[in-house]
Amino acid sequence: MTEIVFLVEDDPDGGYTAVALTESIFTQADDIETLEEMVRDAVHCHFPNEQRRSKIIWILL
């Protein structure tokens, strides 16, 4: 896999949520800048093996 796409939505409780479209990855944060960091961290946790990890992460706002 060379890329992974996340869909970002407003969270009803405040902040934002991000859901990967092709993997079971979900994260949330209070602001977009923090959400970007959380997405990268979630991808690293989901794919601990760097060789299997996506090289490109798309965040669709």
The DSSP line for 5-37 is EEEEEE-TTSSEEEEESSSS-EEEESSHHHHHH
Count of structural domains within the chain: 1
Average confidence (pLDDT) over 43-60: 92
Residue 49 to residue 31: CA distance in whole angstroms: 28
Virtual torsion, Cα 58, 49, 29, 16, nearest 10 deg: 40
Region 27-41 average pLDDT:
97
pLDDT at 12 exceeding the cut of 90: yes
CA-based max dimension of the chain: 36
Owning domain of residue 7: 3-60
Q: What is the pLDDT, as a whole number, of residue 54? A: 86
